[in-house]
Amino acid sequence: MQSNQAIPLNKENFKQIFSKEFALVIIISIPSAMIAEYLNIPLAWFLGPMLITSLASLLGLKTKMPKLVLSSILIFLGLYIGNYIDQTLFSQIQQWAWTSTIMLFYIIISVLFVSKYLQKFSNYDKKTSIFSAAPGALGPLMILAEDEKSDLSQVATSHLIRLIIIITVFPLIVSTLYNEGEITSSLEVIENQNFFHLLVLLFFSIVLILIFDKLRLPAALLSGTLVVSGFFQIFEIASYKFSDNTINYCLLILGSSVGCRFANKTLSEIAQNAFHSFVATFFLVILGLIAAFVASLVIDKNFFTLLLSYCPGGIYEVAVIAIFFDLDPEFVSFHHIIRLLMILFIVPIILKIIDKKKPA
């Protein structure tokens, strides 16, 4: 159970920080980030490390991302997103009830439709197809899938391929379809910061994360830091804006962590799942487009913000894209947390319905 903690403070996790596998990740990630930046690839410090570590892992090189390192980085990113929370945010929240309702229908339709496709064309069993069709929440879904004796490899591979597709393609689409003057990257050098404010934010964030984790609330790392950062910012108690170098390092670790998830996968395993994962991702994106369009009729938001809110990607990875393109990160993060909660509520209900339909 220790390894499932939001902040795993134990001997094994400390040892992983100084492992050869993690050193290899850093050694190959930094040059790949620099090359991606030189080529003007959007989110260079995220996509470069993600792609190179994915390739290295699939080629059989031993890579590892210590959870303690990743947890620390996610706390920084949560605090960074929290800087966008202010008094004006609350005037919009009543509209979010409508977009959250749209999210509910999006998830139900996505799971039912995509799972049917996976059952019919990729020979997944019913439960495995449902876990594979859910638009996000890989970590919690893996726990549920294990309890239901589903094929964990198929579920993980489907989600990982989808994640790679989404977070590689979406930044390219945004940077292409946006006018250059409209893109306002939020990465900038900040001077004269109060370091004591950072310590206060970190302390209370860790306390709230541990409480949320104890209560088994999903995405405790992100929700805990958002609550603390937002509260302290709104009441002008403490705030801290990170420099672009700090955020670049966070992006490098987060991108590398995605690639490291392929550590136990083989090229043949990926190839077997690739085609149907591409098709499933296509369906989920189309359904996400429809959901974003419907949401645009009830709320005045940038369409890319809405599309990112219904994007079937990882909560932290999608939040990073929202930060980079300044697409209302607090709005996007809120909807992905809501999506996570809804998936954890809806999937078990669907599974119970399936069990009841089984012949005695």
- Determine the average pLDDT of the residues in 255-284: 85
pLDDT of residue 89: 64
What CATH number is associated with residue 174?
A: 1.20.1530
Could you report the per-residue pLDDT of 87-97, keeping only the tens digit for each?
Answer: 666 666 777 88
CA 204 from chain center: how many Å? 23
Residue 193 placed within a domain: yes
pLDDT cut 90: percent of the chain above it? 29
DSSP string, 182-197: G---------S--HHH
Tally Cβ neighbours within 10 Å of residue 149: 10
**pLDDT-derived band of residue 183, with 50, 70 and 90 as boundaries?**
very low
Query: Average pLDDT of the chain?
Result: 84
pLDDT of residue 13: 81
List alpha helices for 297-328, DSSP H.
Answer: 303-309, 315-324
Instruction: Please provide residue 54's backbone torsions phi and psi, each rounded to the nearest 5 degrees.
Output: -60, -45
CA dihedral 334, 336, 338, 344 (to 10 degrees): -150
pLDDT tens digits for range 76-132: 888 888 777 766 666 667 778 899 999 999 999 999 999 999 998 888 888 889 989
Cα–Cα distance between 79 and 202 in angstroms, integer? 8
What's this model's pTM, rounded to 2 decimal places? 0.80
Both structure tokens of 50: 């993600």
Q: Is residue 135 part of a domain?
A: yes
Assigned domain for 360 exists: no
Q: What is the count of structural domains for the chain?
A: 1
Give pLDDT, residue 328: 86
Structural domain boundaries, residue 101: 2-355
Mean pLDDT for 27-55 is: 92
Mean of pLDDT values over 343-351? 85
